Amino acid sequence: MRAAYRVRLVANLVNGSTLFGVLVAAAGRARLARGRDGLLIGDRYRLPVPPAPAFTLGNVIMTRIERDALLRQEALLAHEARHATQFAWCAGLVMLPLYFTAAGVSWVLTGDFGSRNIFERRAGLADGGYADRPLRPALARCAGWAGRAAATRPRRHRQA
Ligand SMILES: [Zn+2]
pTM of the predicted model as reported, rounded to 2 decimal places? 0.88
* Domain spans in the chain, listed from the N-terminal domain onward: 3-91, 94-160
How many angstroms separate the alpha carbon of residue 118 from the centre of ligand 1? Answer: 10
Ion ligand 1 neighbours, Cβ < 5 Å: 120, 123, 128
Average confidence (pLDDT) per 10 residues, the chain, 160 residues: 96 98 98 97 96 95 95 96 98 98 97 97 96 91 80 65
Residue type, 7: V
Rama region for 84: left / alpha / beta (φ>0; ψ in -120 to 50; rest): alpha
How many angstroms separate the alpha carbon of residue 73 from the centre of ligand 1? Answer: 14
Q: Are the CB atoms for 91 and 100 separated by under 8 Å?
A: no
